Amino acid sequence: MTTNPLVDQPDREPLAEGGTWLLDLVAAVDHLRRGHRPGLTVWDALEEALRSTTNDDDPAWDSPDPLAATLRRLIDDTDAPVADRMQGAVRRWAIAMAGRYNNGQHWPHPTPRRGFPPPTLDAAQEHIGDVT
């Protein structure tokens, strides 16, 4: 029987690896939005990953805030630590997308978008709220 990386789970997630899986999710979105899935956002990917862990046969496809609805379902239908469920979902999503769209290779992490040394937060605060 073929295993489904979006559903199969280990007993416990090594939570110290969470940053790596989040970077993989960001890298996958960065790649997928350039061709296979235009318009995909990190939040869309997170919702899609989390949706695979909920026990809901009828996801709220028409919800005005699908991520919030999925997070509520995830929290409501689990006795396991939510961090384990969330990290497992992100890990499985990143692995499934790598298998499907990256020839089974781990995602290369995105290149830094800021130089070194990074700008101070004071300079970045000027652009918060700007819509361009």
How is 63-116 classified by DSSP, letter by letter? -SSHHHHHHHHHHHT-SS-HHHHHHHHHHHHHHHHHHHHSTTPPPPPPPPSS-S
Determine if the pTM surpasses 0.85. no
- Is residue 90 predicted with pLDDT exceeding 50? yes
pLDDT confidence of residue 1: 43
Element (H, E) at 13: none
- Is residue 19 predicted with pLDDT exceeding 70? yes
